[in-house]
Structure 1
């Protein structure tokens, strides 16, 4: 089913007296490639076309949409507002057509697909080695782009197919996205071995947890949903904000601050660091992680294959961690 944006775009064409019969739909694949690369030469290479042919197609697109679409910027080009508005519905429409083409069978042994996956640190360290190894064995020509810097625009990147998947501790609830539980991690409270109030204890109460000074993730951290989930209903004082869970553990090991992390992260660090782990009190003993993608890719055979690899590899690694 086409999106409302795609519907508006088609209605716009009809209003201009244009019908699909009079439109060269091959131009839309050129538009998609140029939007992705924002460079005529690279787009031509990806399309296996000559640069003049792509330039000519762009000129025809400008006439079709009655907009410049692309403006020169340095050595590349920059899309206009109209081009940006068209990009998502055109991409989704092309993907839907591609999914339904006869004979469109994905073969991992010969595929040259590229998959872009956002995995916030330190889960990138946890899963990337095995993901790369497994993909290389099963699909030697497939390329993985694993990015630990998710940023704040994950929804848009998935929607525009700049990203294929997100692995995160946040479930995407917005319409148009599919999130499935991937694994769960046990939470522990970390303090220094010689912490004056907690170092010799085997448990910590919620009252003690709230009373201590905390080392927490910075709002700009790439562990995208973890801190929000842990501290959603807890009012604590944070004396330190770090970029990674490793930073929080290192600071807590050398001070009276405490931090909350998944147990596997604690076990990942050397035992000589001098840290002590206590079970997290209260109801949030575990935190769930999710694999998310955009619904427009639901039936894409290549996407389904990669989805299965992610679920399998992450499941095996998590089981091994335990």
Structure 2
């Protein structure tokens, strides 16, 4: 680039959106532009930088090494510019912004509806982009500022992140109404008798014996029946378990369990939500730690007035929802 005076800030916004969305049409929808406007902006950037930046593939656009090199500094610069223009105050009644939250479909289906209803009244100009965190590197995304918050089940977290407890709930074994396991005491032996439906919502990192995956120092629960614990319990009795299926979305569990003899280990709240759709549940026949949901944010980004306000709203809405149940 010959001079900073040749640079239109909107080109940088387009670059950042294409880098994150990996597609011109998705970037256009995110920015409220036409696809042709995004393509035109990319052409300008390519000429200014003397690099192709993105190469079109069968289903997405792939960044060049030069684009990968630019992505971090550009994201950080945009974050600083946004913070400078927002200033030190945040007025939810007049704010027009969008928060990016990474979470599971379980949280999206059980916790977020009350929050979205509440904020539609309190902050009508605020929007959300709910990103599924199955394949996200949460540490990298939080460090880059491409996520405002993450909601999930975590163990330890690096010191540069803030981990705030949200809810605590039990887990249960769920099965269809009329399942053979409902006609007998639900014991550890029962877990070897019927096929399991495992839920694996985190696919990166090294799995630990504690039922978590380590992702660059962030311990993240993978929300399944904790096979290491179960296999240990069954092995002591000379038994093994059978995995009938594995899914990546917890909301896929109710219809699968309702139509088969599969049994699954899920949060009690989910089992209660779907019990009128042909499901029953049983308490685990062994000591099982509760599911602890928490909110994760970066100490720097999470302290911004807008994000601090959002964190407070989430806390208040969950407290109100828990009190009403």
How far is the alpha carbon of 1:137 from its aligned partner?
A: 0.9
Q: How far, CA to CA, are the matches of 2:119 and 2:197 in structure 1?
A: 34
What's 2:321 paired with?
317
Matches within 5 A, 1:30-109: 32-38=12-18, 58=45, 62=49, 68=51, 70=53, 79-96=63-80, 99=83, 103-109=87-93
Question: How many aligned residue pairs are there?
Answer: 287
Change in 2 beyond 3 A, CA 1:228/1:199: same
How far is the alpha carbon of 1:187 from its aligned partner?
A: 0.9
What's 2:262 paired with?
257
Q: How far, CA to CA, are the matches of 1:253 and 1:71 in structure 2?
A: 45
Within the alignment, does 1:233 sit opposite 2:229 as a pair? yes
Any gaps of 5 or more consecutive residues in structure 1? Answer: 1-21
Matches within 5 A, 1:165-184: 165-171=149-155, 173-174=157-158, 176-184=160-168
Change in 2 beyond 3 A, CA 1:30/1:289: same
Matches within 5 A, 1:1-322: 24=4, 29=9, 32-38=12-18, 58=45, 62=49, 68=51, 70=53, 79-96=63-80, 99=83, 103-147=87-131, 149-155=132-138, 156-171=140-155, 173-174=157-158, 176-201=160-185, 204-205=186-187, 207-208=188-189, 210-219=191-200, 225-228=221-224, 230-235=226-231, 236-271=241-276, 273=278, 275-321=279-325
Any gaps of 5 or more consecutive residues in structure 2? Answer: 19-23, 204-219, 232-240
Q: How far, CA to CA, are the matches of 1:258 and 1:44 in structure 2?
A: 43
How far is the alpha carbon of 1:177 from its aligned partner?
A: 3.5
Q: How far, CA to CA, are the matches of 1:192 and 1:55 in structure 2?
A: 53
Change in 2 beyond 3 A, CA 1:179/1:309: same
Q: So what's the TM-score if we normalise by structure 1?
A: 0.70
How far is the alpha carbon of 1:80 from its aligned partner?
A: 2.9
Q: How far, CA to CA, are the matches of 1:269 and 1:45 in structure 2?
A: 37
Q: How far, CA to CA, are the matches of 2:154 and 2:130 in structure 1?
A: 18
* Secondary structure of 1:105's aligned partner: coil
Contact 2:176–2:257 (CA under 8 A) maintained in structure 1: yes
How far is the alpha carbon of 1:111 from its aligned partner?
A: 0.8
Larger radius of gyration: 1
Q: So what's the TM-score if we normalise by structure 2?
A: 0.69
Q: How far, CA to CA, are the matches of 1:301 and 1:229 in structure 2?
A: 39
* Secondary structure of 2:303's aligned partner: coil
Residues 10-35 of structure 1, C-alpha deviation per residue, up to 9 Å, x if partnerless? xxxxxxxxxxxx98599595564132
Q: How far, CA to CA, are the matches of 1:129 and 1:289 in structure 2?
A: 16
Alpha-carbon RMSD across the aligned residues, in angstroms, is 4.2
How far is the alpha carbon of 1:154 from its aligned partner?
A: 4.0
Q: How far, CA to CA, are the matches of 1:268 and 1:286 in structure 2?
A: 18
Q: How far, CA to CA, are the matches of 1:194 and 1:102 in structure 2?
A: 57
